[in-house]
Amino acid sequence: QVQLVESGGGLVQAGGSLRLSCTANKSIESINFMGWYRQIPGEQRELVAVTVRSGESNIRDPVKGRFTISRDNAKNTVYLQMNSLKPEDTAVYYCVADWPYFPTYWGQGSQVTVSS
């Protein structure tokens, strides 16, 4: 019954920005972790950014300095702010979340396309 609903994907020119949202129907204050993966065409799915229960976060090197992960606990929502987008950021972005005693859940995926 846990659902993660994503929004905010789309088409943007290189150098532009998008913000992805992921809203859960369960409190995110108790998560083990929550974050974003992406799948670039022809490549394996890779971790982009993650936040844990303590509030600590990690941004992976390919997007460090350009992407930021944040969350609004009152809205049960995690965001991925994507700035200075590059064509190589084009991918399907997936929200992921894990709670104690629950399986890991995935969002439906959001297409982000960056034109050159």
pLDDT at 1 over 90: no
Of residues 43, 103, 105, 102, the one with CA closest to residue 78:
105
Query: CA 73, CA 26: separation in Å to the nearest integer?
Result: 10
pLDDT digits 0-9 by tens, 66-93: 999 999 999 999 999 999 999 999 999 9
- pLDDT confidence bin for 17, thresholds 50/70/90: very high
- pLDDT confidence bin for 28, thresholds 50/70/90: very high
Measured in degrees and rounded to the nearest 5, phi and psi for residue 61 equal -55, -40
pLDDT at 57 over 90: yes
User: How does 52-89 read in b/e, with b if 16+ C-beta sit within 10 Å?
Assistant: eeeeebebbeebeeebbbebeeeebbbbbebeebeeeb
Write out the H or E segment, with its range, that includes residue 77. strand 77-82
Tell me what percent of the residues of the chain surpass a pLDDT of 70.
Answer: 100
